[in-house]
Amino acid sequence: MTPLSEAGTAEEIEVSPVRPQGLLTRARKLVSERFGYALGDQIVFSLGNMAVAAFISRYCTPWEFGIYILTQRSIDLIQQLCSVFLWAPLMFNLPSLEKEKQRAYLGSIFVLQILALLFATLVLRGAAWWSTTPSRGMYYGVFAPLVVTAFGIIFREYTRRMYFAEIRMKEAFWTDVATNGLQVIAVCWLWRAHRLNVGTALSALSICAILVSFWWLINEWKTFDIEFSSVLPDLWKNLRLGKWFLGSNMVFTVSSQANPWLLGALMGGGGVGAYSICEQVVNIPRVALVSIQNIMAPMMARAYADGGRPALTKMVRRLDGILFGGAALFAAGVLLIGPQFAQLVYKHFPANGRMVLVVLALNLVVYASTMAQGYALTAIEHADFTFYAQLAGLVAQLAISVWLVHAFALPGAAGAMLIGSAVVLVVRQFFYTRELKAI
């Protein structure tokens, strides 16, 4: 992990004084320098996962495919916990430290990551033992293969996030190309050799991930110091931020999952399926938003560490315009070709689906409009305000969702989510303005 002074300062990224530029010019510069690789990384990552899942879906039994999906959900859960308590706090804490302390802090994160993975391995081993009885055979198929494979897969994700933390998106992109390319080739070979199943697929994914992780380890080992006396204090430092990240993630998960469960209760499975088609169409542009989120946290943290609140405010203003403009463009594309795309892919589009798309597209724009403010609040050590804003939005969404679904069916569910996002926008903007109004 290259020290921050070598990886580029916040002024080099975006906060240095520049001649007035239009939105298009600024967007082109950001895309060419950072966001292009960030977007490419997320596309490669998503396509690689999709390709492996497609192989197992097409060439294994439906039961095996279901088991594979459950293994991925188990890995996702472990990665989410690592993210909120290790990776995300790292991105915000690292830039504010002196160079030597950065090396020690990176070493602490490395040690904590290894310990977390060892603990996860023990938990998975216990889960596999619990599921050895015949009545729990399905769960044994999920947990047993992960005992020896999850470590390598999750450690590779850790190395990917380390590149994100230092905004080394070019390295992140090419190592993801290597990882996913090797994984797809390995799974394809297993299929050709008639040896493809859940266990062999996970082993292939893990081995390929470990190979690329060794590349990272060989090149980055000299850039951090392991000081065991610092590990516990650094863990507490991470937990202070991590508790708010965990809360925000839980609120976001409930907000995202509320509509399908509510529609299932009030309209049955047909309503859930129809809404999900519209939601999947609108979720396509979220790949771009996720790629921006991968780089936004370290950019905000560096801007604040190097230039204080003036630099942070300047970056928020620039990102606001790009995020709003990009989300509006994506929303227009969804409205223009969304129904045709849904018909092509799913062979069905709900009768009132266009109205659902309109509301969900507006929600996408609202969601993106103050995304930068949320990261800025975290950078100034107010992640709690972001949590409170999201909690307020969830309360508003749940309070009105039943009435809206009764009154307007599928568009009502989308409308409840839009109202919740609007509340998040207002509350988050209030906190942001209050904290930075003197700038």
What confidence tens digit (pLDDT) does each residue in 340-360 have? 888 887 777 888 888 999 999
Amino acid symbol at 91: M
What confidence tens digit (pLDDT) does each residue in 185-213 have? 999 999 999 999 999 999 999 999 999 99
Helix (H, G, I), strand (E, B) or coil at 22: coil
Q: How far is CA 192 from CA 56, 189, 198, 208, in A?
A: 12, 5, 15, 18
d(C-alpha 275, C-alpha 277), whole Å: 5
Nearest of 253, 301, 282 to residue 366 by alpha carbon: 282
Query: Given this model, what pLDDT does residue 26 score?
Result: 52
Phi-psi domain of 24 (left: phi exceeds 0; alpha: psi -120 through 50; beta: other): alpha
- The tokens describing 221, both together, are 């080992």
d(C-alpha 14, C-alpha 12), whole Å: 6
* Token pair 């980055």 in the structure block, residue: 220
Give residue 42's pLDDT band: very low, low, confident or very high (50, 70, 90): confident
* Token pair 């937990």 in the structure block, residue: 239
User: For residues 284 and 342, is the Cβ–Cβ distance under 8 A?
Assistant: no
d(C-alpha 4, C-alpha 56), whole Å: 41
Counting every residue, how long is the chain?
Answer: 439
Rounded to two decimals, the pTM is 0.78
User: For residues 127 and 182, is the Cβ–Cβ distance under 8 A?
Assistant: no
Amino acid symbol at 336: L
pLDDT higher than 50, residue 9: no
Sign of the C-alpha dihedral computed for residues 203, 206, 207 and 208 taken in this order: positive
Q: What is the mean pLDDT of residues 86-91?
A: 92
Which range has highest mean pLDDT (128-137, 142-151, 258-267, 324-333)? 142-151
Backbone angles phi, psi at 133, to 5 degrees: -70, 150
Q: What is the mean pLDDT of residues 136-157?
A: 90
Q: Of residues 260 and 173, which shows the higher confidence score?
A: 173
* Helices first, then strands: H and E counts in the chain: 17, 0
User: For residues 266 and 405, is the Cβ–Cβ distance under 8 A?
Assistant: yes
Residue 116, number of CB atoms within 10 A of its CB: 18
Amino acid symbol at 215: W
What confidence tens digit (pLDDT) does each residue in 241-265 have? 899 988 988 888 888 878 888 888 8
CA 411 to chain CA mean position, Å: 27
What confidence tens digit (pLDDT) does each residue in 277-316 have? 888 788 877 777 777 777 888 888 888 888 888 888 888 8
User: For residues 7 and 166, is the Cβ–Cβ distance under 8 A?
Assistant: yes
Query: Given this model, what pLDDT does residue 51 score?
Result: 87
pLDDT higher than 70, residue 400: yes
d(C-alpha 289, C-alpha 325), whole Å: 12
**Interhelix angle for 23-30 vs 286-346, to 10°?**
90
Residue 89, number of CB atoms within 10 A of its CB: 25
Nearest of 361, 310, 343 to residue 17 by alpha carbon: 310
Q: How many CA atoms, within 13 angstroms, populate the side-chain half-sphere of residue 173?
A: 16
d(C-alpha 319, C-alpha 317), whole Å: 6
Nearest of 382, 359, 369, 360 to residue 435 by alpha carbon: 382
d(C-alpha 36, C-alpha 43), whole Å: 11
Q: What is the mean pLDDT of residues 377-382?
A: 89
Give residue 231's pLDDT band: very low, low, confident or very high (50, 70, 90): very high
The residues, ordered by sequence, that sit 6+ positions from 415 with a Cβ below 8 Å of its Cβ are: 359, 404, 408
